[in-house]
Structure 1
C-alpha cells in the first residue's frame, strides 16, 4: 500500500504538468493583398503578434512569412523559404504562452550580453529576385523584283528587385536595330537605332514609400508613357498618392530632351478581397516645351475584377488647356476614352466588349505652326469591338470577333470580321490545327484572308514546329486591279535548356511574277 500510494501521487503530479498547462492559441488570418515586395495579411486582432514573428500557410509546418510591421488588424510580411503566396490564402499564427523567468539580482557587478547584428536578424528584410532576357535576331527580305533588305536587332530586359536583399531595385529594357546596305540620307533615315524604353532604379525607403529615378513607365499612369526623372509613391492603407517630375522623351529619336519638362501627381485607392478587386487612379499632368505650356490634362484609370468572372477596365484623358494665336484658354477637350469589359460565363464561354474614342494630341508649343490645321481636323476616331471565345467540344476551341472604326466625316472607317477554329489534338498524328478567316472593308480596300496552321512538338516538347498557308484576296475600290497572293511558311524553335532558345522561320510569298522570301532567325537567353 505504501508503494501504491506513492505511485498515485506521482501520477497526479505528472498529469497536472501535462494537462494543466495553457494550450497554444491559433490565430487565423487571410492574405488580402500581394505586391512585388510585401504580403498583406488580415486578422481579427493582432495584439498577440509582434514584429519578427513567423506565420505559416494552412496545412504546412514550415514558416512562410515574417512580420515586418503591423496595425491593429493587419500585418505587412516578407516571404521566406521560397513559399508561393497568393491572395486569399489562409495563414495562421501560433501564439505560444510566454514563460515567466525569475531573475535573481546578482550580488556582483552585472555584465550585459550584447548580441551581434547577424544573430538578431534571422531573415532578410527583402528578398532578391532577378529576371532577365537578352535576344539577338536577323530579318532578311530577298525580293525578286526589288533590292534585298537585311537588318539585325537585339533586346535586353532586366528586372532586379531588392539586389542582395537591399532596398535597391533596378530595371531596364533596351532595343537596338541596324539596317544593312542602306545609305543614311537624313537624320530621319538612319541605319542604326538605339531605343531606351526603361532604365531606372527604385529605392524602397519603407514598405509603403518608394522613390524611382531614371526612365520608367508608371503602371498607375501608363497612358503618359516613359518619364525621365523622379517618381515618388506613398501608400496609406488602401489609399496611395504619387508625384512625378522629369522630362518627356524626344518625339523624333526617343532620346533625352531637357526642353520637354513635365510634372504632376495622382491619388488612388486599392481594394482587394477574395471576391472583389478594384484600383482607381486620378491624376493631373502638365507638360512644357521650351519653358511654355505644351499640354495640361487630367486622367483617370480604373480596373476591377468581380468574382474572377467580370473584368472591367477604363481610362480617360481630358485636356484642360489650349493656346491659339497667343490666346490661352482652359477649355475642356476629351482626347482619350477607352472602356472594356470581359465576362466569363463558364470555362467554355467568355465574351469581351470594348469602345474607344481618340483625338489627336495637340502640343501647343511643339506643333504651334500646325495648330490651325490640327484643330480643323479635330475629329474623334472611334471604335467598337466584340469578341466571343467558346469551346463547343473537347479539344476544340473557336472564336469570332467584330470590330468597327468610324468618325463623323465618314473617313478612315473600317469593318473587320475575324474567326478561328482550333483542334488542339489532331487524331492519329497529334499536334494542333488552326483555321482562320479575316474580312476587312475600308474606304478604299476590301480584303479576304484565309489561313491554316499546323503545329507540333517533338523531343519532350523541346522542339516546336509550325507549317502554315495563307491565301489573300485584295479588291481596291479606287480602280486598281484586284489580285490574290499566296503565303507558305514554316518555323522551327528549339529549347536547348530552360533559359536558352533558338529559332528560325521562313516564308515564301507569290504574286504574279514576284517570288519574295523572308527569313527570320532569333536566339534568346533568359537568366
Structure 2
C-alpha cells in the first residue's frame, strides 16, 4: 500500500511539473434545473427557464443523493421545455425535479438578436470564440451593477383539470471596489414556488431559495485576491460552487490558486459542513498575433464526513494560434477508488472532450468534436449506488457540422452526430439541416427552415420546422413565430406520436434597463391541446 501511495504521489508530482507552465480558463459546466410540467401517456414534459445547450437525443437526470441517474431521453425541445421519453421503469409526477447537464461559457442572458446568431453554434466553440486572456484590474473605482427578474410559467390543457403555475424571482448584483476600496461583493439568488403549494416552502426554505453566489472579494493588489463565501471560481468552474475561502495570485502570464471549503448540499443546495473539499490550480496564457492559447491544471479532493469521497485532477487547453483554427480539449482523471472496502490510489479517465473548428473561408466553416465521459463516482455519497454506477459504461459521441454562406443573407448548415454506450440496442444518431435567409424581401425578416432526423434505442423521429423573426421599432420589439411538426415512431411498440407545435414570442425593451417578454406555446396532439405560457420582467440597475 505504501509503495502504491508513493507511486501515485510521484505520478501526480510529475503531472504538476509537466503542466506547471500552463493556465486555466475553465469551460463552465452548467447544471440546468427543471421539473416535470405535464405527463401524457409515455410523454414527459420538462420545463426549464431556458433549454439552450440541450439537444434532441440528450439525456436528462434525477438526483439521488448526489448521484445523477439517467431517466429521460429528449425527443424534442423548444426554447423553454423538453418533450421526453422515460428510460427504465421509473415513474414520474408533476413537479419532480429534473437535471440537465450542458457545457457552456459563463452564464449570460442572450438578447433575441444575439440568440439568432449563436443558437446554432456549438457551446464549446462559443467558449473558444469568447475566451480572451485576463486583463489586469483597473484602478480602484466603485461600480455597482445588478439585475432583478420576475417570471411565471403556466401549463394548462383540455386533457386535465390540473393546471400548473410556477413563479420565480431572481436577484443578482456585483459591487466592485465598494466605496473605492479593495473590497468587492457579488450575489446571485433565486426564489421559486408553485401556486397554492406554500407548504413546500414552509417545510424547507431551501426547496424554494437557491443561493448560487454570495461572496466577498478583497484585492491585496492587482495580482493577489481572496474570496470568502459561496462562489463559482471561473478558473475552476468544473468544481462548481465552493463555500469557503479561495486565494489566487498571478504574475506575468502565470497564476495559481488554492481553495478550501465545503460543497453545497446535494439535496437542496444549502450549506453542508460535512462536505469538505480543498484543492489547488495553476495556469498560464499566451497571446500572439494570430490569437491566444490558454491551459490549466487543477487538483481537488472532496470528502464526506471526513472520508474521501472523490480525488481527481483535470486539465484544460484552448487555443487559436493557427490562423482560422480553434481548438479545445479537456480531460479529467480520478485518482481514488474504493474496492471491496479498501482505498486504492489509481488512475481512471472519467472525461475527455476534443473539438476543432476550421474556417475555410468567409463562406465555409467546419466543426468536429469527440466526447467521452463516464459517470463520476462519489464513493461516500453514492455508497448504495456504487455497484450500479460502476456497471455503466462510458458514453461516447462524435459530432460534426458544416456551415456555408453562398450569397449574402443566406446561410446553410448541416450537422449530425452519434452517441453510444455499451448495452444500447442501437446508437443515438441525429441529423439536422437548416437554411436561414436573414432579409426576406418585403418584410425584412429572418426566416429559418429546418429538418431534424433522429434515431435512438427507443424511437425513430422527424421534426420539421419553420421560424420567422423580426425586430420592430428600431430594435425595441422582437417578434418570433415558430412552427414544428413532430412525427415519432416507437421501436418496441406500435405507438406513434404526432404533434403540431406553434410558438409565439414577443420581447420588448423599454430602455437599456427594463425588458419584458411573453412566450406562448401550443401543442396539438390528436384531440388534446397543451398550452405553456412563460412571462418575464427584467430590470437592470
Distance 2:482 2:500 in 1: 11
Q: 2:529 aligns with which of 500, 515, 524?
A: 515
Whether 2:349 is the aligned partner of 1:334: answer yes
Compared with structure 1, are the counterparts of its residues 429 and 276 closer, same or farther at alpha carbon in structure 2 (3 Å cutoff)? closer
Secondary structure of 2:308's aligned partner: strand
Whole-Å separation in 2 of the counterparts to 1:503 and 1:249:
32
Pair 343,199 (structure 1): closer, same or farther in 2 beyond 3 Å: farther
Alignment of 1:248-287 (within 5 A): 248-287=263-302
1:149 is aligned to 164
Q: What residue ranges of structure 2 are gaps of 5+ in the alignment?
A: 1-24, 26-131
Is 1:463 aligned with 2:508? no
Please, which of 329, 343, 359 is the counterpart of residue 374 of structure 2? Answer: 359
In 2, distance between residues paired with 1:257 and 1:299?
A: 25
1:408 to 2:446 alignment: no
Give the deviation of 1:269 after TM superposition.
1.4
The answer on whether the counterparts of 1:220 and 1:301 sit within 8 Å (CA) in structure 2 is: no
Distance in structure 2 (CA, Å) of the matches to 1:151 and 1:354: 37
Kept in 1: contact 2:143–2:178 (CA 8 A)? yes
Aligned twin of 1:225: 240
Tell me how far apart the structure 2 counterparts of residues 333 and 363 of structure 1 sit (CA, whole Å): 14
Q: Which residue of 1 aligns with 2:48?
A: none
TM superposition shift of 1:411: 5.2
Q: Distance in 2 between matches of 1:186 and 1:319?
A: 38
CA contact (8 A) 2:365 2:403 kept: yes
Structure 1 position 131, deviation (Å): 2.7
| Residue of structure 2 in register with 1:61 after alignment | none
User: Which segment is superposed worse, 403-412 or 458-467?
Assistant: 403-412
> Hey, what does 1:485 align to over in structure 2?
499
**Residue 412 to residue 152, structure 1, CA distance change in 2 (3 Å):** farther
What is the Cα deviation at residue 347 of structure 1?
A: 2.5
If asked which structure has higher relative contact order (CA below 8 Å, sep 6+), I would say 2
Distance 1:249 1:185, change over 3 A: closer
Q: Could you say which residue in structure 2 is the equivalent of 1:111?
A: none
- The answer on whether the counterparts of 2:201 and 2:207 sit within 8 Å (CA) in structure 1 is no
Look up the match of 1:474.
488
Cα pair 1:130 1:161 within 8 Å, conserved: yes
Give the aligned partner of residue 440 of structure 2. 426
Aligned partner of 2:149 in structure 1 is: 135
Mapped partners of 2:494, 2:194: distance in 1: 32
Aligned residues: 408
TM-score normalized with structure 1 length:
0.73
The one of 507, 512, 515 equivalent to 1:498 is 512
Q: 2:220 aligns with which of 205, 209, 215?
A: 205
Q: 1:302 to 1:396 in 2, by over 3 A?
A: same
State the superposition RMSD in angstroms: 2.5
Cα separation, 2, equivalents of 1:133 and 1:190: 23
Q: Does the aligned pair in 2 maintain the 1:182–1:191 contact within 8 Å?
A: no
Taking the aligned partners of 1:317 and 1:359, their CA distance within structure 2 comes to: 10
What do the CA deviations read for 1:452-494 (whole angstroms, capped 9, x no partner)? 1111222222111111211000110021421310012211111
Residues 484, 511 of structure 1: 8 Å contact kept: yes
1:238 alignment counterpart: 253
Deviation at 1:275, TM superposition (A): 2.1
Kindly report which structure 2 residues correspond to 1:17-56, keeping only aligned pairs within 5 A, or say none.
Answer: none
CA-to-aligned-CA distance 1:204-229 (integer Å, 9 cap, x gap) = 11111111111111222221111111
- 2:38 maps to what in 1? none
Of residues 412, 417, 420, the one that matches 1:398 is 412
Q: Is 1:449 matched with 2:463?
A: yes
Residues in 1 aligned to 2:181 and 2:344: alpha-carbon distance in whole angstroms = 48
Contact kept, 8 Å, 1:125 with 1:165, in 2: the verdict is no
